[in-house]
Amino acid sequence: MKFFDTDWSVVFRWLPVWDKLSFAARQHYLLAAPSHAQSVSADGYGADLSAGLASGLVEMVGSGRVKPTAASVPFRAVMAQLAKFPLFDQKPTAKFLEDYTRKHFTREESDRIQFAWNQPAWDSLAWPKAFLKSADAKVWERNFLTPFEMNGNTRPNWGWTPQPVVPPKKTWFPDAETVEAAKCLVGQAVETSRTIPLLSLPALLPERLRPVLETALKACLRYFLLYPALRPETLEAVIGVCPTLVYLASRPAAVPPAWAICDRLASPAFRMEDMIRVLMEAAAGDCRLNRTGYDRQFFKSVEDRFREDFVALPDWLVSRYDFASRLHIAGAWLIDLKFVQDTFQSRPKRLLLATPKGRKWLTQPPADRLHELLFAMTRDQPEGFDEDDESLSFGLEECQFAVKAPGDFDHRPWLESVWRQAAHPEVVGLNAFLDYHARVSNPLVNPVVPEPFRPHLAYRYGSSRSVLREENVEEYCRAILEQYFWARLVPLGCVETGVDAKGEVCFQLSPAGRYLFGLNPELAYGRPTAEAGLVVQPNFEIVFLAPNLNAEIDLAPFAERCGKNVGTLFRLTRRQIISAAARGIKAADVLGALAKHSQKPVPENVAEEIRTWFAGCRTLTLRRSMLIDAGDREVALRVRRLLGAECRALSETLLEWPKAQLDPKLRKKLAELGLFLESKTGKDTEL
């Protein structure tokens, strides 16, 4: 224990004076100057100046300047430390508690408690109760003493842990009175589940135990049985059990999330669009990967093309989905879904190649493509599922919520029931929604999932592991809901998101989301957007007067991107249209998409030019055939007679056989006529 291993009697000496000061005077004493050595204006104490001077809390050091007296400096130091962590006045997140722990305890001290074997979790109610139930506090504390405390100066080395010395060199409970006083304090704190003013602690103890109050308090602080803090609103010193427990006991009733105001929502299924872009490159055979390197690393030129073509996201999404992660996940999903294969093992040139399954998916209408993705992620894991395989978990190693493997808790019904509740016409703040539903729609609150099916959260607190308990199920469920939102619903366009005036993320279910949760019978992807705010110009430029991600997604397959967000985002070029035609897009599709999004009619010359470009595309049929060079006209006639009408004369001596190979029987017949075949390529077998 770092700072709190101090003389708490000083604190209790000055607390009665502190109690009489006004909030402003307390603030002035504690916070007006960064150091006790620095004087502050006497005026800041107001009417309390005389009381402060009379009590000896502060002293005059010059005209109108005061500073803490030497006797009150230790008190001020403790109060300043308490002020740093308002443990009971803000939501005690894991991070917040971890900061507190790091500040006031050594790593060994906190590890011994937080990772104690076969003991209740340190942040659960069972923890102080276990202390209260312990018959011998000295035996109880042996579980949590550091090696240094156990063995004095002998410190453990790597690979060797000294045998614990019995009795340990150090104890925080030097006598029975201290244990009794500590249990008395903890018991009352557990019972009330609220904070207790530090000033009232002496009154909580019987008269005989008051002399050991400071020792008992230190022991309680050392073993995470009690936590001290200043209330920021009053600067009153208080203690309580674990802040998580106090928060749960004292927070107000849950309130449904209020409607938010957010006028610009977007629901791009950008994950699907990213996958399409990568798959298109893979289908064209141009998706080169570096051979070196453990991960899939795309060729720089390929990556640059993707960077150019990926759908631009609004600012509030860009920070969460950077280009590198989008590309990585798009590639991973394509592989997981067997839409592409990596030729790393099979070919010297490493490529991502589209599989027949991937090509088929690519040719489907957009809504069907999205349907397949939406439901791929809700299926059970197949037989022989390898937990290390990213497939189907789609990179969400921590909670495989959307798939069900033996032994995993199936979150799917719960997720569906929660997100269905977002199907209202108004937008709500994401944090408010998550807080509310983690609390009121939490399936794990009571009863807690029985032990065999408890999901374990890996790496929640840095490198530690934490078991699911009553005290943290809300946080756990909230994390799953939030992860589901960012990893599935947003990338697949199931929610329309935006930010309100304060920059808070807001959302509502999109038509795709409603379809996913069974609220819409049909999947409507690519909404008609009357408010599109884009114009197709006669000079073939497409100008976005306002961001419109849905339009961007619709136009990107056939228009050349030349900007992001707003302004001239696309240009219709012949090269791009021909490339679209190669992918099976029709002139009517292009004109339809333009007409749907443009707030002005598509200019006639643009429409006509697009039709012309499409009309200029032809499909050429390739087939294999053999050329037979007969050498002279007579031989050519003999060969034609033998081979029949299928054999076509290209000239008097040159014949074409419309197949890749010649039947052995025909070869034999030719040989019988003295006509022997010889391949120019030197591979006679090809014939």
Partner 1 sequence: MMSEFNPQNPLIVQGDHTVLVEVDNPLYVEARDALARFAELVKSPEHVHTYRVTPLSIWNACAVGENAESIVSTLGRFSKYPLPGHVAASVRDSAARYGCLQLRRRDADSLLLTARDLPLAEELAHQKTLAALLRSRLGPLDFDVAPAERGRLKHALIKLGFPTEDLAGYRAGEELPLALRRQALSGDTFAPRDYQREAAELFHAGGTERGGSGVIVLPCGAGKTIVGMACMALVRASTLILVTGVTAARQWRAELLNKTTLPEDAIGEYCGDTKEIRPVTIATYQILTHRRSKDADFTHFNLFDQRDWGLIVYDEVHLLPAPVFQITASLQARRRLGLTATLVREDGKEDEVFALIGPKKYDVPWKEMEKQGWIATAVCTEIRLPMDELRRMEYAVAEARHKFRIASENPGKLRIVRQLLERHGDVPVLIIGMYVEQVEGFARELGLPILTGATSQRRRDEAYTQFRRGEIRALVVSKIANFSVDLPDAAVAIQISGMFGSRQEEAQRLGRILRPKPGENQAHFYSIVSRDTVEQDFALKRQLFLCEQGYAYRIVTLDRPEELLPEPSTPVL
Residues of the shown chain interacting with partner 1 in the complex, contacts defined by CB under 8 A = 264, 315, 498-499, 501, 503, 533, 535, 537-541, 543, 545-546, 563, 566-568, 574, 600, 603-605, 608-609, 611-612, 616
To the nearest whole angstrom, how small is the minimum distance from the Cβ of residue 653 to partner 1? 24
- In terms of CB distance, is 607 or 687 closer to partner 1? 607
Measure CA of the first residue to CA of the last residue in the chain; give whole Å. 88
To the nearest whole angstrom, how small is the minimum distance from the Cβ of residue 539 to partner 1? 4
- In terms of CB distance, is 161 or 605 closer to partner 1? 605
To the nearest whole angstrom, how small is the minimum distance from the Cβ of residue 241 to partner 1? 43
In angstroms, the CA 351 to CA 576 distance is: 23
Which residue in the block uniquely carries the two structure tokens 């942040």?
A: 123
To the nearest whole angstrom, how small is the minimum distance from the Cβ of residue 537 to partner 1? 4
Are 312 and 277 spatial neighbours (Cβ–Cβ below 8 Å)? no
Q: Would you state the torsion angle of the CA atoms of residues 13, 19, 25, 28, taken in this order, to the nearest 10 degrees? A: 50
- In terms of CB distance, is 29 or 614 closer to partner 1? 614
Nearest-CA neighbor of 222 among 3, 15, 75, 465?
3
To the nearest whole angstrom, how small is the minimum distance from the Cβ of residue 322 to partner 1? 19
List C-alpha distances in Å: 614 to 462, 536, 558, 588, 610.
57, 18, 11, 10, 6
What SS3 class is residue 556? coil
- In terms of CB distance, is 202 or 538 closer to partner 1? 538
- In terms of CB distance, is 363 or 539 closer to partner 1? 539
Length of the chain in terms of residues written? 687
Are 494 and 512 spatial neighbours (Cβ–Cβ below 8 Å)? yes
Instruction: Convert 260-289 into a string of H (helix), E (strand) and C (coil).
Output: CCCCCCECCCHHHHHHHHHHHHHHCCCCEE
To the nearest whole angstrom, how small is the minimum distance from the Cβ of residue 307 to partner 1? 16
318 DSSP 8-state letter: H
Q: CA quadruple 302, 303, 308, 314: dihedral positive or negative?
A: positive
298 DSSP 8-state letter: B
- In terms of CB distance, is 107 or 574 closer to partner 1? 574
Nearest-CA neighbor of 14 among 34, 32, 33, 36?
36
Which strands make up the sheet holding 567-571, listed edge to edge?
534-536, 541-544, 567-571, 560-561
Q: 525 in the Ramachandran plot: left (φ > 0), alpha (ψ -120 to 50) or beta? A: beta
- In terms of CB distance, is 71 or 617 closer to partner 1? 617
- In terms of CB distance, is 134 or 568 closer to partner 1? 568
In angstroms, the CA 327 to CA 246 distance is: 44
To the nearest whole angstrom, how small is the minimum distance from the Cβ of residue 496 to partner 1? 15
In angstroms, the CA 533 to CA 544 distance is: 6
- In terms of CB distance, is 356 or 503 closer to partner 1? 503
To the nearest whole angstrom, how small is the minimum distance from the Cβ of residue 557 to partner 1? 22
To the nearest whole angstrom, how small is the minimum distance from the Cβ of residue 99 to partner 1? 30
Judge residue 22's burial from the number of C-beta atoms within 10 Å of its C-beta, 0-12 exposed, 13-18 middle, 19 or more buried: middle
- In terms of CB distance, is 546 or 582 closer to partner 1? 546
To the nearest whole angstrom, how small is the minimum distance from the Cβ of residue 564 to partner 1? 9
To the nearest whole angstrom, how small is the minimum distance from the Cβ of residue 543 to partner 1? 5
In angstroms, the CA 116 to CA 114 distance is: 6
For residue 433, the surrounding DSSP H or E stretch is helix 430-440
To the nearest whole angstrom, how small is the minimum distance from the Cβ of residue 474 to partner 1? 31
- In terms of CB distance, is 352 or 577 closer to partner 1? 577
- In terms of CB distance, is 254 or 546 closer to partner 1? 546
- In terms of CB distance, is 80 or 532 closer to partner 1? 532
Nearest-CA neighbor of 625 among 686, 561, 534?
686
Helices 73-84 and 23-31: angle between axes, nearest 10 degrees = 100
In angstroms, the CA 641 to CA 190 distance is: 106
To the nearest whole angstrom, how small is the minimum distance from the Cβ of residue 568 to partner 1? 7
In angstroms, the CA 627 to CA 604 distance is: 49
